[in-house]
Amino acid sequence: MVRAWFMDSSDTDQRQPHMQEPPQFVDLATLRELSGVEYYKMDADGYLEDSALKKMREDRGYSYEDLIEIKKDTLPNYEVKIKAFFEEHLHSDEEIRLIIDGSGYFDVRDKDDKWIRIECVKGDLLILPAGIYHRFTLDTKNYIKAVRLFVGEPVWTPINRPADDHPARINYVKTVVAQ
Ligand code: KMT
Ligand code: NI
């Protein structure tokens, strides 16, 4: 089961859980309400053939798919990428990730600009809406492998905060934050 929680305010090691004391967990319905983030459980082993994933590809028009493996010795420019993933940013499109091995944290800003940390493990599929401020980090196990999905030709460009005038941000504020 995926878990999410409001983060503490300490800026020590990003790979630690950073839960508050006591922990302030966020359930999936609340996560969606506060951020627009969608979560689905998928069959990570059989994902190529999984009917739920197949339906999602069709329904949402996910025509592009590749794999990203974040591992020190095999990902080119590892340190640079790790740093860029953890810079607060947004994208002009959804960020869709299905975790097929390992684990990591997606941090998203909620409507009140508070950080919610989403712990992702094998079988978790997350859809971060276009325009949401977010970041990603590995956890202390230092390994994740994920499928990246996209509608059409992929654009992975991160637009670092502040990007409040970006059209995707304006639309996100209108459709999620202001609701
Ligand atoms: C991104 O865009 O932040 C990433 O692709 C990194 C996380 S994928 C598990
Ligand atoms: Ni991103």
In angstroms, what is the span from residue 50 Cα to ligand 1's centroid? 22
Q: What is the pTM of this model?
A: 0.97
The per-residue b/e assignment along 118-129, b for 16 or more CB within 10 angstroms, e otherwise, is: bbbbbbbbbbbb
75-84: average pLDDT: 97
- Position 28 scores a pLDDT of 97
Domain range for 66 is 3-177
Distance between CA 40 and CA 35 in Å, rounded?
15
With a 6 A CB cut-off, is 85 part of the ligand 1 pocket? yes
Give the tens place of pLDDT for each residue, 94-110.
Answer: 999 999 999 999 999 99
Q: Please give the share of the chain, as a percent, with pLDDT higher than 70.
A: 99
In angstroms, what is the span from residue 105 Cα to ligand 1's centroid? 10
Number of domains, the chain:
1
For residue 93, what is the domain's CATH number? 2.60.120.10
Distance between CA 144 and CA 122 in Å, rounded?
9
41-56: average pLDDT: 94
With a 6 A CB cut-off, is 144 part of the ligand 1 pocket? yes
